[in-house]
Amino acid sequence: MKDFLEALGLNPLYLAAGGAGGLLRALSSTRHSLRERIVSPFCGALAAGYLTATGVHLLRSVAVPLPDDPLATFGAVGFLIGVSAMWISDAVMLAVLQRLGRPT
């Protein structure tokens, strides 16, 4: 399974960290619908799978102090992306709809 995920460009560590972040968001939220709570861990995992390396690169490029342990760094950034993935997807979809001139 690891080879399949890596062939898709997804690191299993990032997926796990993002899924855990999405699960935290789903369990701690009371104002979101059941559908959003179910989808949140999957959205968190996918977002972290594709955005974690970029997020770490951006943090390093602006000189944010990061732990020396790359496993801790990538895991923490993946978790934070996973927690905020539904918010990120909502913001992206809103921007796309506004760009297309559709009412939001």
pLDDT tens-digit series, residues 56-104: 999 999 999 999 999 999 999 999 999 998 888 878 888 898 999 887 6
What is the residue type of 43? C
pLDDT band at 51 (very low <50, low <70, confident <90, very high): very high
- What's the confidence (pLDDT) of residue 37? 85
pTM: 0.79
DSSP state of 52: H
Q: Are 103 and 45 in contact (CB under 8 A)?
A: no
Query: Is the predicted pLDDT of residue 26 greater than 90, yes or no?
Result: no
Exposure class string for 75-92: b at 16+ Cβ within 10 A, else e: bbbbbbbbbbbbebbeee
In the predicted model, what is the mean pLDDT of residues 25-29?
A: 85
Please provide the average confidence, as pLDDT, over all residues in the chain: 89
